[in-house]
Amino acid sequence: MYEGKPIIGLAGGIGSGKSYIAGLFAELGCGVIDSDAQVREVYRDPDVLSTIRSWWGDGVIGPDGQADRRGIAARVFDDPRERQRLEALIHPRVDALRRHRMKEFAIDPKIVAFVWDTPLLFEAGLQDRCDAVIFIETPFEERVKRVAGSRGWDASELQRREKLQWPLDRKREISDDVLQNTADAGDIRRQVRDVLSRVLARATQKPSC
């Protein structure tokens, strides 16, 4: 709980529709913390740009002078040490932005809960700071279609990326609720309403922090 309002973390496979689900929560009065947007903001920080340039040279800086995130990903994907170094640079700054946004939402009486749309919720250890973790279940074939259109990945690339993350079965097992994200927009909206009602009901039984 933060200022008497529950924190809901979203989890699921790549391409499962977490941002779409977050938008549905927003329609119901939740304040959404978009970690990917915050990462983009951090990468625009001149100090961050200077640091990554010192590590990897001009090859990770695009023609526009901004960080080339695909180039950076290629550098760190198969190198755990470099990936950890990057995370140590990025994650604290993202956390600071998250805390600032939470404070802004906390004073808004229309906000009933916080939703963390964070791609690596479990991997970053953020699940323990949530009052509820919602796993979004989406068929693998549907997720492949989405990442093919948005990122140009095929099924093998999707699987390769997910091998660096916690197993989906484990995430699903320890989540508090599961949403079935299918093609039925009306059904998923009903599921989101129901799960939010349960989270808010549980929150009234907990002391505020």
What is the tally of structural domains in the chain?
A: 1
Counting Cβ atoms within 10 Å, is residue 124 exposed (0-12), middle (13-18) or buried (19+)?
A: middle
The answer as to whether 82 is a domain residue is no
Counting Cβ atoms within 10 Å, is residue 54 exposed (0-12), middle (13-18) or buried (19+)?
A: exposed
**Domain, as residue range, for 155:** 7-43+95-201
Whether the predicted pLDDT of 209 surpasses 70: no
Q: What angle do CA 85, 91, 96 make, to 5 degrees?
A: 145
Average pLDDT over residues 49-66: 93
Tell me the C-alpha distance between 46 and 85, whole Å. Answer: 18
The answer as to whether 16 is a domain residue is yes
Tell me the C-alpha distance between 168 and 11, whole Å. Answer: 9
Give the per-residue pLDDT at 203.
Answer: 81
Give the per-residue pLDDT at 207.
Answer: 55
Tell me the C-alpha distance between 69 and 59, whole Å. Answer: 11
The answer as to whether 183 is a domain residue is yes
Q: What angle do CA 191, 192, 197 make, to 5 degrees?
A: 100
The answer as to whether 27 is a domain residue is yes
Q: What percent of the chain has a predicted confidence (pLDDT) above 90?
A: 70
Q: What is the CATH number of the domain that holds 180?
A: 3.40.50.300
The model's pTM: 0.86
Give the per-residue pLDDT at 183.
Answer: 64
Pairing of strands 132-137, 7-12: parallel
The answer as to whether 115 is a domain residue is yes
**Segment 126-162, tens digit of pLDDT:** 999 999 999 999 999 999 999 998 888 999 989 988 8
The answer as to whether 166 is a domain residue is yes
The answer as to whether 18 is a domain residue is yes
The answer as to whether 75 is a domain residue is no
Whether the predicted pLDDT of 62 surpasses 80: yes
Q: What percent of the chain has a predicted confidence (pLDDT) above 70?
A: 97
